[in-house]
Chains A and B, each alone.
Chain A
Amino acid sequence: MKIKETDIAIVGAGAAGLTAAIEARRAGAQVLVLDENRLPGGQLFKQIHKFFGSHEHRAGTRGFQIGRDLLKEVEQSGAEVWLNTVVYGMEPDTSLGVIHEDQNTVIKAKKVIVATGAKENYMAFPGSTLPGVMGAGAAQTMINVNRVLPGERIVMVGSGNVGLIVSYQLMQAGAEVLAIVEGAPFIGGYGVHAGKIRRAGVPILVSHTVTRAIGTEQVEAVEIAEVDSKFRPIPGTEQVLEADTVCLAVGLNPMTELLWLTGCKFTFIPAFGGHVPMHDAHMETTVPGLYVAGDVTGVEEASSAMEEGRLAGISAAESLGLIPREEAKERRGEVIRRLNVLRSGAFGEGRRRSKEQQLKAMEAFQAEGDRT
């Protein structure tokens, strides 16, 4: 077994992991980034739409372009990046078990930043296990990264931004979207994303759900129905759509498996996707030296993940004595200001409240520890 030592190890080379690496390297830390994929960038390379926010969040720039620029920055920074590398475990002392180039390796880092992101939720209905039913993000990976159309006639389940954006991108890739169905009585995502869908002539059916995927070897048709206020399908409202693919855009949940292994403490915030690690304003968890950033701390979006990555990178470097305390504080303040901008308005306000709740849970935990 090989042992590798480094200052800061970062798990996940996505939006949050890459910015964390850039900040930590800038401070002079020795940085190793680990990712299971053959390409870095996480989910950024499937985001082919222009990002929202302001100039400082690179608004108006397409996600994959932001990804390319980040990669270049990481390359120039001198951070070491191990791809095709599975992190299979983490000890309470934060040492990592990884398989790199077919070799079992233990990574002993002074600080570890976990930026593993999130995975898509599943929704059960008759036929939901049939080939042809897939996550909306999976379809997005197929069309925008692998450049393969998963189907030609799509029904999208869920009208949050993921459902709306992926529907649009499926049409850009040449597929036909038959309808977006949404269980709630209103559209979940941005009106401007919904507007693109409607101008393309695609109906968004609120208070509707998918009741059945029909087929034996794969999806051959999809039955949808209207639902009542308790989300129960209303008999007699069923209609069958000649779809070959059902995409599920019904939320995401943080990929926290590694964190659980360390005994780090969690708090439950449904709006963030379930159990999320407690962390402080430095992004440090209840396990000393273990930091988190991005969707693994609670599902938000890529711009926020990139900012959280910066927070974690700055803080981890500070704790190694590489950034003076005052300077670190000032730089974090700047990042938090930008984050607060993203976490505002009718859609962002809830995320800001969830993040506050998460930070408060950490404070309460620490206060408890101080008393005992």
Chain B
Amino acid sequence: MTGVKYTGIPSKEELENCPGVPDAERLEKGRVACVECVQEIPCNPCESICRFGAITVGEQITSLPVLHGEKCTGCGLCVANCPGLAITILDLNYSETRATVDFPFEYLPLPEEGDEVEAVGRDGAVICPGTIVKVTKISAYAGTAVIRMAIPKEHVMTVRSMKRPKRS
């Protein structure tokens, strides 16, 4: 059985039908939010936090968040504000060969800028090496750190986090 209900991981179909996931065309244009929210749960902080109206949920807060790619600046406020930690910011234009993924991280120890880490997919399996570009932990994020990690471009739609370093 595949799909989020059976594995905890959204299936290819679920992601394709997910209105929060940007299309290839928008991805090409640079930094954009990727809202992998595929179940109707009562929740809408992604909508309330976005100053640009780029994510809408609507009156019925169980509706799936809809990404309006043209309005999204990739600012990343939604990443730390999503209680489900389901949002990442993808930047396909980071460099000639590399993309970045900004993902929420709530473990210790935090990585540091420049660290070489192992980038993992939605199932926690290591996909490729990653380089930590930026670590943001500000009070507005209420304990959640947002980590920007550079990875080879081809993995931008599969890498979603990093392997946790062992705690000393």
A190 to B86, CA, bound (A): 11
A53 to B38, CA, bound (A): 16
Chain A residue nearest to B8 in the complex (CB):
A194
Per a CB cutoff under 8 Å, which of A60, A198, A345 touches B45? A60
Contact sample, A vs B, 11 pairs, CB 8 Å cutoff: A50-B45, A59-B44, A59-B83, A60-B48, A171-B107, A192-B82, A194-B7, A195-B86, A200-B124, A344-B60, A347-B40
Nearest 10 CB-CB pairings of A with B:
A192-B84, A194-B8, A201-B124, A345-B62, A191-B4, A50-B83, A60-B45, A52-B43, A345-B40, A198-B8
Is B9 an interface residue when CB atoms closer than 8 A count as contact? yes
Given contacts A55-B45, A202-B124, contact A60 B8 (CB under 8 A): no
Inter-chain contacts of A232 with B (CB < 8 A): none
A194 to B81, CA, bound (A): 18
**Which residues from 323 to 372 on chain A have a C-beta closer than 8 Å to any C-beta of chain B?**
341-342, 344-348
B: interface residue count bin: 35 or more
Inter-chain contacts of B39 with A (CB < 8 A): 190-192, 346-347
Per a CB cutoff under 8 Å, which of B6, B121, B123 touches A206? B6
Chain A residue nearest to B160 in the complex (CB):
A199
Is A172 an interface residue when CB atoms closer than 8 A count as contact? yes
Is A186 an interface residue when CB atoms closer than 8 A count as contact? yes
A62 to B120, CA, bound (A): 26
Please determine whether A65 and B142 come into contact, CB atoms closer than 8 angstroms.
yes
Please determine whether A187 and B160 come into contact, CB atoms closer than 8 angstroms.
no
Chain B residue nearest to A194 in the complex (CB):
B8
Interface residues of A (CB under 8 A from B): 48-55, 59-62, 65, 171-172, 174, 185-187, 190-202, 204, 206, 341-342, 344-348
Majority SS of interface residues in chain B?
loop
Inter-chain contacts of B143 with A (CB < 8 A): 48, 62
Is B85 an interface residue when CB atoms closer than 8 A count as contact? yes
CB distance from B73 to the nearest CB of A (A): 20
Per a CB cutoff under 8 Å, which of A52, A61, A199 touches B41? A52
Please determine whether B83 and A199 come into contact, CB atoms closer than 8 angstroms.
no
Is B167 an interface residue when CB atoms closer than 8 A count as contact? yes
A346 to B43, CA, bound (A): 12
Is B50 an interface residue when CB atoms closer than 8 A count as contact? no
Inter-chain contacts of A206 with B (CB < 8 A): 1, 6
Per a CB cutoff under 8 Å, which of A60, A198, A200 touches B164? A200
Please determine whether A61 and B142 come into contact, CB atoms closer than 8 angstroms.
yes
Inter-chain contacts of A62 with B (CB < 8 A): 142-143
Is B111 an interface residue when CB atoms closer than 8 A count as contact? no
CB distance from A69 to the nearest CB of B (A): 13
